[in-house]
Amino acid sequence: MGDTLQIILNVLRQAWGALTLFIVSAAALAMLAKTLSTVGASSIGARFMVWESLATIAAVVILVLVAFVGIPPIVRAVAMSIPGAPGCGPITELGTFASGLIAAIAGVRMMLAIARTIGGAAIGGTAEVSQALIEVVEALFGMLLAGVAIPLIAMFFTGGCTHYQLPRSGNPFWAMPTH
Amino acid sequence: MFFVFAPNVLSSVMDKAVMAGLLLSDGGGGIFGPILDQITGYARDLWGVFVGLIIIAATLGMIVAVLRGAGGMLIGGSKETTVALISVVGIVLLVVVAFVAIPQLAKMITDLKPAAPF
């Protein structure tokens, strides 16, 4: 299970790296696209469009800073709060597997939300900062809830570590208390 | 005269921006490497398209502003002429700032790229 976890984590790390590269390219293209929009709008005298384009450029820069400076510490902090080996008995391995993956999946999901928004701006759309941040917070809360759920599930299935005993049928999900 | 050499100047700034390593792939990405190479190739092409379009839009915008200014001078409107001159200067400044600032911003963003926190 540990090897499987490491393989999946490696894939997620590569996905993280790919998303960061994509964000860099998309941010540069988005700023250039909005510069084109600004030049065109100022040529025809469309002031609202000029301000909208400049605001989108600022939004892209803000989103990139949130993604590169804000998300990694958040993922690290919440990952440390998730128990590493909750419960005991057979459920421990599953719990360790899940707790190792939660932070990685949530981190990649947050970067994906930012990358999608900046990618939309790169092809001429608007960068909706609020929508991107809502998805980031959703991923964060999902991670926190999953982190709380793992110990509860472990306790439910095992009935507490010191009182764990496999029944004669060998089914680990029906642990019986020893007293 | 200005409209003759302005596109060449802006094109050379664009070349320098691309060569500055803005969209150079470092071969990373692991299993996502081939996809990233494709996306980077398209991004490079798109960069060139956008720069070309900006040069065209800026040139047309300056011509329109000059036309407005000439029209203003024709009817004796000094305000129109002043606004036209300011528009031309504004467009040139906007484009030059964009072509210089955006690659620098992209370099700064590339330096800020974080490693995976898990």
Neighbour-count burial for B1-18, b at 16+ CB within 10 Å, e otherwise:
eeeeebeeebeebbeebe
Does the pLDDT value for residue B29 go beyond 70?
A: no
pLDDT tier at B58, thresholds 50, 70, 90: very high
Does the pLDDT value for residue A110 go beyond 90?
A: yes
Mean pLDDT of A95-123: 87
Q: Is A162 exposed, middle or buried (0-12, 13-18, 19+ CB in 10 A)?
A: exposed
Partners of B116 on chain A (C-beta within 8 Å) are 12-13, 16-17, 104, 107
Q: With an 8 Å Cβ cutoff, is B87 touching chain A?
A: yes
Tens-digit pLDDT profile for residues A134-171: 988 998 888 888 877 776 776 676 655 555 444 555 55
Task: Compare all CA atoms of chain A with the CA of B93 and give the residue at the minimum distance.
Answer: A39
Output the CA torsion sign for A56, A59, A65, A71: negative
Q: Chain A closest CA to B61's CA: distance in Å?
A: 5
pLDDT tier at B19, thresholds 50, 70, 90: very low
State pTM to two decimals.
0.79
pLDDT tier at A59, thresholds 50, 70, 90: very high
Domain boundaries, chain A: 2-157
Find which of A2-11, A169-178, B88-97 is predicted with most confidence, using mean pLDDT.
B88-97
